[in-house]
Amino acid sequence: MSSQAIPWGAFSEKHKLYIRSCLKNMMSTAEGAVRSGKTLDHCIAAAAYLETCPDKIHLASGSSSANAKLNIGESNGFGLEHLFRGRCHWSKYKGNDALVIKTQTGEKVVVFAGAAKINSFQKILGNSYGLWIATEINQHHDSFIKCAFSRQLAAVDRKVLWDLNPSTPKHWIYTDYIDLYREKGINNYQHFTIADNATVSEERMAEILLQYVEGSVWHRRDILGERCAAEGLCYPQFANNTESFIIDKAPDDIAMIIIGVDFGGNKSGHSFIANGITRNMREVVTLEDHYRKEIITPKQLDEDFVKFINKVKTNYPNIRAFEVNCDSEATVLIQGLKVASAVEHLPVDIKNAVKGEITGRIAFYNSLMAQGRYKIMRHCTNLIEAFQQAVWDPKIITEDVRLDNGTSNIDSLDACEYCVERYMRDIQQMGILIKRAEAKNEERKN
């Protein structure tokens, strides 16, 4: 049996040794920098294991089923579906997405599952698994981890492969599992930095480093692969050098405008943010903001929203329609905005916000700020103050939590983040492509 050839790059000796050690040990954990090759190592080890293992049913997990399929099944052309191309197909197994593989020792089924929610474990009940390969294990719920381990107890030859990017040092994934199991001698652990990936060229490394502020928590975790606690300011570069991000005139090449809406409660306020994205997704620019921290009626909220949209429409007449992303928890208020918009014939498409991980949203804006690709109009004073004052909660040491006790304006930050969530990956990728094109143009000039 043979699979389609894959154009492999160079492997460092550290990665080669780790892959071999994965096959010799029951449990292995790869922790470290982004793009350091951790998941790829596990895909290769998993493929070698699946060829000869006696067990039929296996498990692949991520924060969501889609995340598991993307990182383990696809993995940029190097995942399981590519390693077994020509002798595997996607199917369903007891309600879960599954990759069915023909191996030298018979048919194997790899079940893909999401693991972030408290009830995620229910999707993997009823099966006995031989292999469990998990990506971003620190984003798995503890109930899922316990269930997955119990589902392997009857395996003939069980294998556990975990990967993760570093988290805060006191995270329970370390104290309850990774470090605890290392002390007991049952966890084959390896740490990687981005420099351990031999396929990352000097040019690509330079592009990647542009996304980070040196010394920041994101730089230490994503590039150096260090465990570190997020403390102090959430947006230190903005807070320490605010004026460099402020503009008095909007760019001429605004291509689209997206509105973010966060609804207030007892200690919070209603916030609307209008973010413009320039041509080719080069920059994100906050154009207008609105913040009202008082108890108001739904009718007053609708009136504020209509005024805000009309203001944006008047100031930017070339943009014919606006996408609006609202905090999805307030369904009644969202319906009210939709009715008010219809009555006033506003050119808006109102949707529920994605509401992904807050730390991911914070990291995105820090990345844009590091690249000089985020700007804010001077009159948006509510959001400017929010960026300046946002801090990490010092009382929570097991995870990264932005302080939200009513003393600072978290609502405007949420609304600003809702604006761009659907486009974060595209904006980041375009930034790399733009820098690469600029570097080539500079080479031609020289």
Question: What span, in angstroms and rounded, lies between the C-alpha atoms of 215 and 232?
Answer: 13
Tell me if 438 sits within 8 A of 286, measured CB to CB: no
User: What is the end-to-end Cα distance of the chain in Å, rounded?
Assistant: 52
How does DSSP classify residue 118? T
Supply the pLDDT for residue 441: 78
Question: What span, in angstroms and rounded, lies between the C-alpha atoms of 403 and 233?
Answer: 10
Tell me if 219 sits within 8 A of 213, measured CB to CB: yes
Q: What are phi and psi of 256, to 5 degrees?
A: -155, 155
Same domain, 193 and 144: yes
Question: What span, in angstroms and rounded, lies between the C-alpha atoms of 114 and 107?
Answer: 23
Q: What angle do CA 292, 293, 295 make, to 5 degrees?
A: 100
How does DSSP classify residue 130? S
* Mean pLDDT, 10 residues at a time, the chain of 446 residues: 57 93 97 93 97 97 95 91 94 93 97 96 94 97 98 96 95 97 97 88 82 87 92 93 96 96 85 96 96 92 97 96 94 96 96 93 94 96 96 91 89 96 90 75 75
Task: Provide the CATH number for the domain around residue 69.
Answer: 3.40.50.300
Question: What span, in angstroms and rounded, lies between the C-alpha atoms of 251 and 396?
Answer: 40
In a domain, 439, yes or no: no
User: Residue 125's domain spans which residues?
Assistant: 13-199
Supply the pLDDT for residue 2: 45
Same domain, 171 and 92: yes
Domain count, the chain: 2
Question: What span, in angstroms and rounded, lies between the C-alpha atoms of 285 and 374?
Answer: 6
Same domain, 180 and 288: no
Supply the pLDDT for residue 1: 42
Question: What span, in angstroms and rounded, lies between the C-alpha atoms of 405 and 95?
Answer: 41
Supply the pLDDT for residue 6: 60
> In the structure encoding, which two tokens stand for residue 96, read together?
């879960």
Supply the pLDDT for residue 403: 92
In a domain, 279, yes or no: yes
Same domain, 150 and 279: no
Crossing angle, helix 410-420 and helix 381-389, to 10 degrees?
Answer: 100
Supply the pLDDT for residue 134: 98
The amino acid that residue 343 corresponds to is V
